Chain A
Amino acid sequence: MLSAYVVIFLFVAAGIAFGAGALIAAKLLRPSLPYARKLTTYECGIKPTGSTEVKLNIRFYVFALLFVIFDVEILFVYPWAVTVKEVGLLALGEMGIFLSILFLGLAYAWRKGALVWE
């Protein structure tokens, strides 16, 4: 049983080594000659004008918030799904209550117009 976890660990280690190895090799092999003119902000060759602050629309925040909430909800459903067969009907009812509470939240967001992009 432990060997299964070792396999997972090796996978993770290989993935990290792949990415880190590429970055480390690049750092060792590339020339680094910074000077003031090279570090100026790129604006198609002209002198950069205007402010760098970008005003993001609030709808991005609302969608991200809803996504995170429902993503965590799904996360809770996964361990339930692997054990529901053993526990039986009680677990099913329990999850039904959980999902319906969160569905009420979704219905509220829907009615409030949070799901409309415009």
Chain B
Amino acid sequence: MGIVLDQLPGCAKPLPGGQFLLTTTDYFIDLGRKYSLWPLTFGLACCAIEMMVAYAGRFDFDRFGVIPRPSPRQADLLLIAGTVTKKMAGPIVEIYHQMPEPRFVVAMGSCANCGGPFHDSYSVLKGVDKIIPVDVYIPGCPPRPEALVYGIMELQKKILKMKIAKGGGATPQQEKGSRDLTGNGSNGGQV
């Protein structure tokens, strides 16, 4: 862990005005994180088209600091846009594990939320939250680009609530331990 994230809460608390220092640090760290969300483009189906439109000129995503990245090593947001088949579930979990913290997941569209119109199919995963923890769900089939932009704004609000005193870098979802995927806990990192 970075030295600041580890030591600062402990050092700052006894100091006079230490709490103010902590909240200011929290604010600036979260500001940096939320205004430079770099998604790993994970367009799988029709929602990918709406996602592409959101990146393009009319609903410009770049003004939020959102730049698409092709590799999980450079991304901090996994934007699942489209139907997740069971065959794709394995690669999605691998890629999620290969993203560095702090990492966030946004499930875009009905199919990523719950399987969508293909819920009863033999080959469709009923929602991507069966395999990875999701921070924001965006309903729609497909959601309009404005809805996707609103979803990212909701994620930004969620990021603003992150505190380094608690969990230091982990997302609120991961802190709750809804699905232990780091491989350190009892689950052992299994899907």
Tell whether any CB of A sits under 8 Å from a CB of B in the complex: yes
With A38-B100, A40-B94: A31-B168 Cβ-Cβ less than 8 Å: yes
A63 to nearest B CB, angstroms? Answer: 28
| B contact residues, range | 20 to 34
A6 at the interface (CB under 8 A from B): no
Q: Which residues of B contact A111 (CB under 8 A)?
A: none
With A44-B91, A45-B94: A36-B2 Cβ-Cβ less than 8 Å: no
Q: Which residues of B contact A33 (CB under 8 A)?
A: 1, 101, 169, 182
A27 at the interface (CB under 8 A from B): yes
A46 CA to B87 CA in the complex, in Å?
11
A19 to nearest B CB, angstroms? Answer: 18
Q: Which chain B residues numbered 50 to 81 have a C-beta less than 8 Å away from chain A?
A: 71-73
A28 at the interface (CB under 8 A from B): yes
B183 touches A36 (CB 8 A): yes
With A31-B168, A42-B98, A46-B94: A37-B189 Cβ-Cβ less than 8 Å: yes
A-B contact count (CB 8 A): 58
- Our pick among B5, B91, B183 for the contact of A45 (Cβ within 8 Å) is B91
A37 touches B183 (CB 8 A): yes
A35 touches B91 (CB 8 A): no
Q: Which residues of A contact B92 (CB under 8 A)?
A: 45
| A contact residues, range | 10 to 19
A85 at the interface (CB under 8 A from B): no
A 30-52 binary contact with B (CB < 8 Å = 1; else 0): 11110111101010111000000
B177 at the interface (CB under 8 A from A): no
A16 to nearest B CB, angstroms? Answer: 22
B189 touches A28 (CB 8 A): no
- 19 A-B pairs (CB sep. < 8 Å): A28-B2, A29-B4, A30-B5, A31-B1, A31-B2, A31-B102, A31-B168, A31-B170, A35-B182, A36-B183, A37-B97, A38-B100, A42-B72, A42-B73, A44-B91, A45-B91, A45-B92, A45-B94, A45-B95
Measured CB to CB, the residues of A under 8 A from B are: 27-33, 35-38, 40, 42, 44-46
Given contacts A32-B1, A36-B183, A45-B94, 13 further A-B contacts (CB under 8 A): A28-B2, A29-B2, A29-B4, A29-B29, A30-B2, A31-B2, A32-B2, A35-B183, A37-B97, A38-B99, A40-B94, A45-B91, A46-B94
